Amino acid sequence: MTSADLIGKILQVVGGLAIFAAVIGLLLFFLDRAPKRGRDYWQLAGFLLPTAVLIIAGLIYPAFRTSLLAFQNNSGEWTLDNFVWMFTQPSTLVTLGNTVIWVILVPLLATSIGLAYAYFIDKARGEKIYKALVFMPMAISFVGAGIIWRFVYDYRGEGREQIGLLNQIVVWFGGAPVQWLQSSPINTFLLIVVMIWIQTGFAMVILSAAIKAVPVEQLEAAQLDGTNGWQRFRNVVLPGIRGSLVVVVTTISIATLKVFDIVRTMTGGNFNTSVVANEMYTQAFRAGEQGRGAALALILFLLVMPIVIYNVRTMRKQREIR
């Protein structure tokens, strides 16, 4: 570990502790119903000041600096060339297209599979075991998951013993082994499978809790009205878990937009598999083009913002209804 990495780790720990202290201080301040004096507000400021300093130094200033770098070249001159490069280079357009594919397929499939799984095993015998099996991939880091699935997709030349599960199945059925991770565009979808494998457990746990919170009286009333299982699911369960669905979809969407580890571990962004986060790292730290990396970071931020705004508005509407 380099000194820069060590300093970064220390700042993360200190920042986490400062944020924790600020939250505890705010809770204690507002839960205390005693009349507030001037000294109390100074104490509150003392709790908040370290967090404010760290947020400014570790979040606001870097975001501002990155925004400026996006409009500069390596010589410090102001230019729009970074954005022109982004939307004109074929390789970068492939990267943007891959990111769009990721952010459409991963939330949709992970949420759908997690919802179906949670609904079908609800109140089933062995429900806890079934949930644990699906949730296990969430305990694995993205790098660890990438290494595991690299073995699944591993390729050995024809006639050699295959250690990759997928190619071994192909050989069993009389086919020739395939270089899965080098074959575009199927390699992008194979990487997406890894992300879905990880995020399905998260969706299942959240949606399972939401399904259990749907009032039993509503389900019984719908059953007495002569509805079948699909009608009860569509007209009773889905409206009842809409808030949780929004949270799951937005959370997975944001995580997908920022995906880096899986792509970097499995293909390094080669063979037309790169995404925005990986290309940002490549340009800023490998190619030495900080302006291009900053421009990609700015685009990534702009892609995340509509999802966050939609989530906040949905939550606000639900709060007003309640």
Give 291-294 contacts, CB < 8 A, sequence gap 24+.
Answer: 291/69, 291/70, 291/71, 291/72, 291/73, 291/74, 291/79, 291/81, 291/82, 292/82, 292/85, 292/86, 293/69, 294/66, 294/67, 294/68, 294/69, 294/70, 294/82
Q: What is the pTM of this model?
A: 0.82
Q: What is the pLDDT of residues 264-292, one digit of tens each?
A: 999 999 999 999 999 999 998 888 899 99
Q: What is the pLDDT of residues 127-157, one digit of tens each?
A: 999 999 999 999 999 999 999 999 999 999 8
Q: How far apart are CA 210 and CA 154, in angstroms?
A: 39
Name the region of 194 (left: φ>0; alpha: ψ -120 to 50; beta: rest): alpha
Q: Where are the alpha helices (DSSP H) in 56-89?
A: 61-69, 81-88
Per-residue pLDDT of the chain (322 residues; tens, 9 = 90+): 455 455 555 555 555 566 666 666 666 555 555 555 666 667 667 777 777 788 788 888 888 888 899 999 988 889 999 999 999 999 999 999 999 999 999 999 999 999 999 999 988 888 999 999 999 999 999 999 999 999 999 999 888 888 999 999 999 999 999 999 999 999 999 999 999 999 999 999 999 999 999 998 998 898 888 888 889 999 999 999 988 998 899 999 999 999 999 999 999 999 999 999 999 999 988 888 999 999 999 998 888 888 878 877 877 777 766 6
Q: How far apart are CA 106 and CA 199, in angstroms?
A: 8
12-35 residues labelled b (16+ CB within 10 A) or e (exposed): eeebeebeeebeebeeeeeeeeee
Give me the amino acid identity at 57.
Answer: A
Count Cα atoms within 13 angstroms, Cβ side, for 258. 11
Name the residue ranges covered by the structural domains of the chain.
Answer: 1-69, 80-321
Record the tokens describing residue 58, joined without a space.
Answer: 């570790």
125-159 residues labelled b (16+ CB within 10 A) or e (exposed): eeeeebbeebbebeeeebeebbeebbebbbbeeee
Is the CATH number of domain 80-321 1.10.630.10? no
Please tell me whether residue 78 adopts helix, strand or coil conformation: strand
**Distances from the Cα of 88 to the Cαs of 73, 186, 221, 265, in angstroms?**
17, 24, 58, 27
pLDDT of residue 28: 57
